[in-house]
Structure 1
Amino acid sequence: MSLQTYQLMVKQRFSQLLPGGPSRAMAVSGLLLLLFYVFSFNYWSSQDHSDLHLPFAHKWRAWSSGGTNTDPPTNLSHIVFGIVGSLKTWKGRKAYLESWWRPNISRGYLFLDGRPDNESLCPYTCPQILINEDIRKWKIYPLLKYPVSVRVAWSIVEAFRQGDNDVRWYVIADDDTVLFMDNIVQVLSKYDHTKYYYLGASSESILSNVYMSFEMGFGGAGFALSYPLVVAMAKKLDGCIKRYPNMWSDHLIYICILDLGVAISRQKGFHQIDLHDNIAGFLSSHPQSPILSLHHINVVDPIFPSMNRSESISHLMKPAGVDQSRLLQQTICYQREKNWSISVSWGYSVHIYETAVPRYVLQMPIETFRPWIKNAKWPMFMFNTRPAKNDPCETPHWFFFESIESENKDVFVTTYTRAEKRRLSPCSLGRNHSADRINRVQVFSPVKTRLEAGRAECCDVVSLSDNTTTVRIRPCMEAEEIAIV
């Protein structure tokens, strides 16, 4: 029914019912129409229109499709990486960035505070190098307590101002951070990029979170910002810096995002690595979530024996280049005849214990590392740990990743070799079945990625030779009993 027809019907009906004739009816009908418009407007405005803050292209896409996001799945081309470094340290960190960057495929920028010399440039193996805006020209500069922190935060705006097309996410990290791009794509594809999202993770050390914030994404580990959120930050960040001139970079970014009404969406896998010494215990019991980043790799010990830091990272990227979804994911199985427990951290390490150790124990990292802040008191970490001991029943035989190859079109073989002799007597609880003679572990895993398998993975110990243990990873059966029996 048209609006004109409706008005005519109202006039006729009220001219019949009300005294005063057509003029009285017209006045009443006008009043009713006014009330109709008021109530209709109030109803419409009371609905959730969270997409109104989006760029016009996003709003049109949502409305024209009936409110359903019909975008194709997020892929690497939809992400811009903003890597922040310093001229003083860049030359020693270049190898870390080169280990994961994909020239002519990934998009992003390396922000430095000055132009590096030709020797430290990497025109083909790194992101485009941009020099940060000189914030010393800002009027507020004398009031800034941490100018370097403001430069880091402002890099987000400078990355946005490059004007890249078809961007859904900005991922920000430091130049001493290794990123795992396939896993990042997989994680970001789960979120609606047309809404405000701030994805990040806390520090591993409790005191780091106490000094900064438990609700903050640590920037060294890296965090991801959806495109609409970065649009809003580009408009508001300068005003936020003026409100909080005394804040450190990660905390400043967190507070500015919070002022926009956006809280963090916690995402496991971003690793600040606020730890010292040997992090092999941490990496060998990685949480059951895709690894997204490793920060502070220039501070901790090399993650592989007999290699330096850059060699270690390049070595880790070999299995990462084959299947990042399975990298560092822990799979546990038991050899009943020997009473052994075997823990596989795919692409990194294998542990053999000479007794049956419960899964809940094996999933706790061995404390081979120290907290970030010296003299920290217990509790020190944001996760449960178990102490490193010399007890032959609680100390594993360590094997580290050596190589990966394809056995056939369906199976990959990763080989792990012993780091050093354990130099302990056999475990009496394990019926004295020593694993000292084992020098190599071979792990057979499906070519189909962990994501494609669509279910949890289990493993079987399929053979024991004189010096080699063979393990096969497979999808867990439905309702499979995986407890120790």
Structure 2
Amino acid sequence: MSRKQRDPESRQKDSGSYCWNWKKCSAVASPALAIAFACSLVYLLVLIFARKPSCLVHSSRSSSFSSIASSTSSSLPSAKTKPTTFSFVDVETRPIEDDDDDDSSDPAGKMASLGNIVFGIAATARLWDRRKSYVKLWWRPNEMRGFVWLDEAIQNYSSGALPPSRISGSTAGFRYTRRGGRRAAIRISRIVSETFRVGLPDVHWFVMGDDDTIFVPDNLVRVLAKYDHRKLYYIGASSESHHQNLMFSYGMAYGGGGFAISYALASALEQRHDECLERYPFLYGSDDRIHACMSELGVPLTKELGFHQLDVHGDVSGLLSAHPIAPFISMHHLDVIHPIFPGVGQAAALRHLSKAVDIDPAGIFQQSICYDRQRSWSISVSFGYMVKVIRGGLKAPRDLETPTRTFMSWNRRFDEDGYSFTSRPPPKSPCDVPLVFHMKEVAYASRDGMSVSNYTRTRTKKQGGDCPSKSAEELRWIQVLKERTKDSWFVAPRRQCCQIMSVASHSMRLLVRDCRDGELIL
């Protein structure tokens, strides 16, 4: 009998594993066959949605799978495209991958340490003996890399506690046509490229500054860690002077306050730097030449408020005691402003400040505000610097965080519109004139980073006035116990809260700590 003439039942018996009559065989089909059939259907559905098939998906994953499938159904691959394979990972916890085709050995693109920064410090032989003390305050010989770029050699230059020195290349071939300017601006603007050409390994950032600038290295590292050095970044701040910004640009990083250039940008700049400089002989300074070249490269300024050009004159206590909620990175024009602590020279004052910087660098100058409602006191704490007590009632935080104009503008005027930030005039009422306490000493209070700092009254002469409470006149010292600034503050900054722990006849104790959920400053 031929194969075609054999009846279906005999075929079923002979073949064993085949069922030619579905209606008859379905009643006796094994459960395994039913499961296999169901899996086949699931497999086909999964192929349609470009997913990796799985017959035994856990029920807790089914909703995630459905959401992934629906979100991608509008962008299915064509028939010629190889289907994308997805793993069953919750959308909320799935790591974000970098889409860039970058073969860098640093996949995170983040700052590893202070050693990844190279500093270029602009200096002159004529002023070096006077200004090298500023560089010594913040330079760490065994941890940091960089060079002091001089206009000419200095005899017996000692680099033990200082960066090594280098002599800038000749700029005689460059034109400089700005009347009243200094052609040294060309030399200083080339420090970025000259530092890059040294060819130091494992460099992420180039940071420029002057010899009368101080840096807080730990804060600088943390700020730059937010950015990818493999991308084009030009980071700094504009001037405190509105007139200076109008004359030059609000989009320019002022060189005295310091600025940072990523390795990728420094590489791009170095290739075209000299020809760019030749196109701008009429510009005044070094930083506006850098800015002009950045504009040609199409790279904008990324502003960080902690870089301080300090284009002001005189007493900067009103500015520093109301520092913005941002890490303090640098401060320039140290020979122009008054010493930040009374009774000593600027170098000694900055050395005194460094004691608090060493203990809590992120907290330096950070303002906290608290109130004594019973005595009608408003209290402003600037960690590591000063405490102010105002006797004239409770002042709003918005007022206290606004800098008081204790300083003059860059044009040596006490004008109210000469600044690039909001400011307020000195108080007229004797009760609103703060009692000022400067930091005398600071130390660790516990192993977890809690610090204790003491602040003493600068002027003990009574200030008078018919104030709600006269007991503040008797205060002679204030002790501040402070929690160390946490790492998360660099990502999501918030002012720390302040509370009064005790008040005695001549002293007061304060606690500065992280604010609790829902807690208000006022």
Please state which band the TM-score falls in when normalised by the shorter chain: 0.7 to 0.9
Structure 1 residue 275 and structure 2 residue 312: aligned? yes
Which of 471, 477, 485 pairs up with 1:449? Answer: 485
1:243 to 1:344, Cα distance in 2 relative to 1, 3 A: same
Equivalent of 2:353, from 316, 335, 339?
316
Shift of 1:452: 5.2
Residue 451 of structure 2: aligned partner: 412
Whether 2:220 is the aligned partner of 1:167: answer no
The answer as to 2:261 corresponding to 1:225 is yes
Alignment partners' CA distance in 2, 1:287 and 1:427: 32
SS of residue in 1 equivalent to 2:354: helix
**Any conservation in 2 of the 1:463–1:469 contact (CA below 8 Å)?**
yes
Q: Aligned ranges for residues 324-339 of structure 1 at < 5 Å?
A: 324-339=361-376
- Secondary structure of 2:140's counterpart equals coil
- For the aligned residue pairs, the C-alpha RMSD in angstroms reads 2.2
Match for residue 470 of structure 2? 433
Q: Distance in 2 between matches of 1:459 and 1:370?
A: 31
Provide TM-score, normalisation by structure 2: 0.77
Structure 2 gap ranges (5+): 1-79, 82-97
Question: Per-residue deviation at 1:427?
Answer: 4.5
Cα 1:375/1:345, change in 2 over 3 Å: closer
Distance 1:378 1:468, change over 3 A: closer
442, 455, 458: which is aligned to 2:497? Answer: 458
CA distance in 2, matches of 1:143, 1:269: 33
- Asked if the contact 1:459–1:474 (Cα under 8 Å) also holds between the matched residues in 2, the reply is yes
CA contact (8 A) 2:385 2:439 kept: yes
1:482 and 2:521 equivalent?
yes
Secondary structure of the corresponding residue to residue 126 of structure 2: helix
Q: 1: distance between equivalents of 2:214 and 2:99? A: 35
8 Å Cα contact 1:426/1:432 also seen in 2: no
Q: What is the match of residue 510 of structure 2?
A: 471
In 2, the alpha carbon distance for the partners of 1:167 and 1:329 equals 30
Q: In the TM superposition, what is the alpha-carbon distance from 1:142 to its structure 2 partner?
A: 6.8
For normalisation by structure 1, the TM-score amounts to 0.82
Correspondence 1:155-304 to 2 at 5 A:
155-247=191-283, 248-304=285-341
- Could you say which residue in structure 2 is the equivalent of 1:384? 422
Cα deviation per residue 1:279-322 (whole Å; 9 max; x = unaligned)? Answer: 01111100110011000011111110001111011111110111
Q: Which residue of 1 aligns with 2:131?
A: 93
Q: Distance in 2 between matches of 1:477 and 1:333?
A: 14
Distance 1:244 1:72, change over 3 A: closer
Question: Is it true that 1:307 corresponds to 2:344 in the alignment?
Answer: yes
Q: Which amino acid aligns with 2:361?
A: Q
- Which residue of the other structure, out of 82, 94, 105, is the alignment partner of 2:143? 105
Q: Residue 266 of structure 1: CA displacement? A: 1.1
Q: 1:456 to 1:275 in 2, by over 3 A?
A: closer
1:351 to 376, 379, 388: 388
- The CA distance in 2 between the partners of 1:373 and 1:272, in whole Å, is 15
Shift of 1:377: 5.1
Q: CA deviation at 1:69?
A: 3.2
Match of 2:18 in 1: none
| Shift in alpha-carbon separation, 1:73–1:158, aligned structure 2, 3 A | closer
Q: What SS is found at the alignment partner of 1:435?
A: helix
Q: 2:104 matched to which residue of 1?
A: 61
1:363 aligns to 2:406 (yes or no): no
Instruction: Give 1:141 shift.
Output: 4.5
**CA–CA distance in structure 2, aligned partners of residues 472 and 378 of structure 1:** 34
Q: Which SS does the other structure have where 1:182 is aligned?
A: helix
The CA distance in 2 between the partners of 1:376 and 1:470, in whole Å, is: 35
Unaligned runs of 5+ in 1: 1-38, 41-48, 53-58, 63-67
- SS state at 1:88 partner: coil
2: CA distance, partners of 1:422 / 1:290: 35
Query: Using the alignment, how far apart are the partners of 1:364 and 1:142 within structure 2?
Result: 41
Give the CA deviation at 1:465: 1.5
Equivalent residues, number: 419
What is the DSSP-based 3-state SS (H/G/I as helix, E as strand, rest coil) of the residue aligned with 1:409? coil
* Alpha-carbon separation, structure 2, partners of 1:122 and 1:316: 25
> Bigger radius of gyration, 1 or 2?
2
Q: Taking structure 1 as reference, are residues 308 and 377 closer, same or farther at Cα in structure 2, changes over 3 Å only? A: closer
Q: 2:411 aligns with which of 373, 379, 401?
A: 373
In structure 1, C-alpha distance between the alignment counterparts of 2:277 and 2:413, rounded to whole Å? 34
